[in-house]
Amino acid sequence: MWQRRDAGITLVELLVGMSITGLVLAMLAAVTIGSMRSTSKVSSKNDVNNDARTAVSTMTQALRVAQPILLVDGGGNPVKINGRSVNQALEVATSASLTFYASMAASVPSPAIAADPPPTRVTYAYNTSRRCLAETTVPGTPAMNAANQRYYRFTAAPTTRCLAFGTVNVDGSALFSYSTLPEATASMTAQYASPTAVSAAGAGIAAAQLASVRQVNIHLVLSAVSGAASSTTGVNSSVTLVNTLAKGSR
């Protein structure tokens, strides 16, 4: 008489099943990890792109309202270049940093001296301690000198904020470059030839040339870490300093 064997699986079958299950789980884990890494890289790239675009947009907007002011010494006396008083929008212009005056204030602190809001001194440069591209602003205070000329003092405490975190232009390229534009005449209103580059090498543009700058070019290469991934992106902008142009050329 045959004895019936209880239904079940053998040890070999169990081991084979476990091996297949383990292999499937390992494949699923690899796919999941790869997908997460890819998503992280895309997210990092987007974050860095957005930071760079925001930083360049902020600098561009400020440069559009760059405002020439009377250049004075510590006593409020006009500084003369080639025997003439100078009104200029740029204070310092190098390939890595830029300081200029801009019409950014919303109120008038001294109506008896000046009816218009005073300019703000703006500096864009890399802040090594914060590891970011920073904006530093100092509000101007209007004053009158002995010759009854209005000028501005920038003695208030500066305010600094980071526009974009990471490293900037590690490839050695210039963050800022500058150009002049030939002034328009009555017969060629608003018509210009090609911009002429102004060298900002070393200590930057010479004081005698600052007043001639009419265009600022921004080339930001931002490298940053977002989450577990790092990314690099580049954003460019070219800004004409419209308030420095002759009235007939606007």
Per-residue pLDDT tens over the stretch 152-190:
989 999 999 999 999 999 999 999 999 987 654 433 444
Say if residues 67 and 245 touch (Cβ distance below 8 Å).
Answer: no
The answer as to whether 86 is a domain residue is yes
Using pLDDT thresholds of 50, 70 and 90, give the confidence band for residue 107.
low
Q: How far is CA 218 from CA 91, 142, 189, in A?
A: 17, 30, 26
**pLDDT surpasses 80 at 43:** no
The answer as to whether 1 is a domain residue is no
With 0-12 CB in 10 A as exposed, 13-18 as middle and 19+ as buried, what is 67? Answer: buried
The answer as to whether 197 is a domain residue is yes
The pLDDT value given to residue 169: 95
The answer as to whether 201 is a domain residue is yes
Which tokens is 11 given?
């040890």
The answer as to whether 5 is a domain residue is no
Q: How many CB atoms lie within 10 A of CB 169?
A: 19
The pLDDT value given to residue 109: 55
Mean pLDDT across 79-92: 82
C-alpha 76/C-alpha 142 separation (Å) is 11
Instruction: Determine phi and psi for 163, rounding to 5 degrees.
Output: -90, -35
The answer as to whether 17 is a domain residue is no
Nearest to 73 by CA among 85, 58, 62: 85
The pLDDT value given to residue 173: 94
> Into how many domains does the chain fold?
1
pLDDT for 214-250, tens place per residue? 999 999 999 987 655 678 999 999 999 988 876 444 4
Instruction: State pTM to two decimals.
Output: 0.75
The pLDDT value given to residue 250: 44
Which domain range does residue 48 map to?
A: 43-249
The answer as to whether 19 is a domain residue is no
